[in-house]
Structure 1
Amino acid sequence: MTAGPAELTLLHTSPAHVPVFDALRDADHPGAGLRHVVAPGLLERARAEGPASVTADLRGLLAGAGTPVLVTCSTLGSVAESLAGAAGTRVLRVDRPMAARAVRTGPRVVVLATVESTFAPTAELLAEEAAGRPLEVRTLLVPGAWERFAAGDAPGCHAAVARAVEAVTDADVVVLAQASMAPAEALARTPLPVLSSPRPGLDAALRLIGHPGPRSPGRAGR
């Protein structure tokens, strides 16, 4: 299971994330070595029993990676980062760079998600990144979006998320809490900043393995 040198392991809970991150790599980091591990059962159990229920499985996956790991599931990110020391590897949750930018943008943050299990970990992450600065977090569940995504209707999911973004008015920034929501960032018509996690998360994780920054610096962190 050990990966080669100068590679990054990405731990996903849906195979739909694999082409998304490969496309970002090809656009911004040509030549970077990515290795994908997909474990959909982890999210299903975490949603039913809580994120702590997958601790043992996560520890095993992280320890066996042989490289730094980018965890692309927001629900599992906090647990995974807490296991880095025990697993003997560096771990980054994909939404941490996005959260850092969100709290720099303004104190009124609206978090959109398609599954409720994402809200608590995301709110905790925002508070951690705010480091005592003023912060007001509101959470909004996008009805029916996860069901569309799980059924293979990604465009329907993203359209629903975009409509939910457009309905937000009283905020400084809108955060799309899950990596699967990222395409809605480009679809939404709103004057508010809208942040998603895949691009800044991949940028930050590749820095862990010493890969050069994005080929198009102006796109990083979008």
Structure 2
Amino acid sequence: MTDLVLLHTSPVHVPVFDALRDRDHPGAVLRHLVAPELLDRARTAGPESVIPALRGLLTEAGAGAGAGAGPGAVLVTCSTIGAAAESLAPALGVPVLRVDRPMAAAAVRAGRRIAVLAAVESTLAPTRELLAEEAGERPVSIRTHLVAGAWERFEAGDTAGYLARVAEAAGSVTGADVIVLAQASMAGAVDLVTGPVPVLSSPAAGLAAGLAAALAMRSAP
């Protein structure tokens, strides 16, 4: 069985990824770590400020080099701290993946004009940088949009209201070839969008990539 650690900054992600596992990857073992304080710190002091705490959490989870019983890989589901987490892979000795990288790769293949929606401002810059990285030499135009009032609904536990705000914002996007929902928590809005522009979310593709990395590590001699 494949063992993958998932690091979340909200507990709402746990059932979402468990459901995806049950649907698409039965038998895979997911170990969830939830650390909301990492997003709080990243929003006030910048994503790089969480690196020491991230390393400590993942080391305690058995993700350090030489930890024979540790996970095959780590998947970080918070886009704000994704790049900071990826930077720890060499020190930890296991793959550390950000959930939104496969989505970003799909977005740059889908078209040149990319619209990014986020509910938290701190997510916009990391997502823009990721898309530019995935685009490489391909010319892309990236427009970012902060969904007004969405995060307040999320923090209040109003998931339906949160997703409705995201879907409304996505439906109003024009002049784009593809829309990227920058945060994993937005994924449920995909089915609510009525506009003509394709909408991409990160959880399903990110989980598949994380489990593939974990399996590769377990299969390595």
TM-score using structure 1 length: 0.91
What does residue range 56-135 of structure 1 map to in structure 2 within 5 Å? 56-65=52-61, 66-67=70-71, 68-135=73-140
CA distance in 2, matches of 1:174, 1:6: 32
CA distance in 1, matches of 2:8, 2:202: 13
- For 1:13, the equivalent position in structure 2 comes to 9
CA distance in 2, matches of 1:81, 1:34: 19
- Alignment of 1:37 onto 2:23: no
CA distance in 1, matches of 2:172, 2:189: 13
CA distance in 1, matches of 2:78, 2:31: 16
Asked whether the equivalents of residues 115 and 178 of structure 2 are also in contact (C-alpha less than 8 Å), the reply is yes
- Alignment of 1:49 onto 2:45: yes
- Alignment of 1:209 onto 2:214: yes
**CA shift at 1:36, angstroms?**
0.2
Q: How many residues are paired up?
A: 207
- For 1:165, the equivalent position in structure 2 comes to 170
CA distance in 2, matches of 1:6, 1:146: 34
Structure 1 stretches of 5 or more lacking a match? 212-222
- Alignment of 1:176 onto 2:181: yes
- Kindly, what percent of the aligned residue pairs are identical? 66
Partner deviation per Cα, 1:6-62 (whole Å, 9 max, x = no partner): 310000000000000000001111111000000000000100111111110011122
CA distance in 2, matches of 1:99, 1:132: 15
- One-letter amino acid of the structure 1 residue matched with residue 177 of structure 2: D
SS in 2 for 1:209: helix
**CA shift at 1:210, angstroms?**
2.1
- For 2:65, the equivalent position in structure 1 comes to none
Asked whether the equivalents of residues 62 and 89 of structure 1 are also in contact (C-alpha less than 8 Å), the reply is no
SS in 1 for 2:215: coil
CA distance in 1, matches of 2:127, 2:159: 22
- One-letter amino acid of the structure 2 residue matched with residue 147 of structure 1: E
Q: Equivalent of 2:141, from 136, 141, 144?
A: 136
CA distance in 2, matches of 1:91, 1:210: 13
CA distance in 1, matches of 2:46, 2:149: 21
Structure 2 stretches of 5 or more lacking a match? 62-69, 217-221
CA distance in 2, matches of 1:52, 1:77: 10
**CA shift at 1:70, angstroms?**
0.3
Partner deviation per Cα, 1:143-194 (whole Å, 9 max, x = no partner): 1101100110011000000000000011000000000000001110121110
Instruction: Give runs of ≥4 in structure 1 deviating > 6 Å.
Output: none
**CA shift at 1:197, angstroms?**
0.2
Q: Equivalent of 1:197, from 196, 199, 202?
A: 202
CA distance in 1, matches of 2:214, 2:48: 28
SS in 2 for 1:148: helix
- Alignment of 1:26 onto 2:31: no
Partner deviation per Cα, 1:83-129 (whole Å, 9 max, x = no partner): 11112221010000000000000010000000000011101100110
Asked whether the equivalents of residues 114 and 142 of structure 1 are also in contact (C-alpha less than 8 Å), the reply is yes
Asked whether the equivalents of residues 74 and 95 of structure 1 are also in contact (C-alpha less than 8 Å), the reply is yes
Give the alignment's Cα RMSD to 1 decimal. Answer: 1.1
